[in-house]
Amino acid sequence: MGLHPDFPLFPHQSGYWAKKVRGRIRYYGKIADDPKGEAALIEWDRVKDARLAGREPRPKVEGITVGELCDRFLQGKELLLNNGEIARLTFRDYKKVTDRLVTYFDGGKRVAADLGPDDFTALRADYSKRNGMVSLANFIQRVRSVFNSELTPSCSRGPSSSGRYSSARPRRLSASRSQRLLRSYSRPVRSSSL
């Protein structure tokens, strides 16, 4: 068959690509469907760490990756930054968090729907080793923001069904406008004598 000497799989007599891991033979696709073993090698790379550690690999899940999720989130926040709705420092903090998520979750290649509580517990433990409680609390809140931005699109600041942009918080008033409003709504206060 002319396989590369470093190729980790072998053609099993049953007609499947196989690999012996921890005393058991595991199969990674039919040789007839994949004569060069390219798809089998991709599947082996996906499950290799779990198999070598003696764990069952997670099922293959389709969907948006952590990297794509972080990109979408930052694009939305960049629009808010350009509109003056968030500060540059806030955007920088979001960027640091998304960079950390991408780095931590396999270079952003993990499917976001595949993440579970154990993944976030490990991320929290890793972050808390080098940071204090306030920084940890801020980090957790920003991670929630990243994942909630995609889970609840109605809370995002994109165009609504009417074509108008919705905002989670009201726009700030200028100083002169707020003073005019206060003057127009304030009533004179009468003092009462005892």
Q: Average pLDDT for consecutive 10-residue bins of the chain (194 residues)?
A: 74 88 87 86 83 77 85 93 93 94 85 85 91 92 87 45 47 61 53 49
40 domain-assigned: yes
Residues 97 and 35 in one domain: no
Residue span of the structural domain in which 35 resides: 10-52
Domain count, the chain: 2
191 domain-assigned: no
Kindly report the pTM of this predicted structure: 0.55
101 domain-assigned: yes
Residue 85: its pLDDT value, please? 93
The CA distance from 143 to 94, in Å, is: 9
63 and 140 Cβ atoms separated by less than 8 Å: no
Residue 105: its pLDDT value, please? 87
Residue 119: its pLDDT value, please? 87
Residues 91 and 126 in one domain: yes
Residues 19 and 85 in one domain: no
Residues 75 and 118 in one domain: yes
Residue 155: its pLDDT value, please? 40
Residues 75 and 150 in one domain: yes
Residues 120 and 145 in one domain: yes
14 domain-assigned: yes
124 domain-assigned: yes
Residue 101: its pLDDT value, please? 93
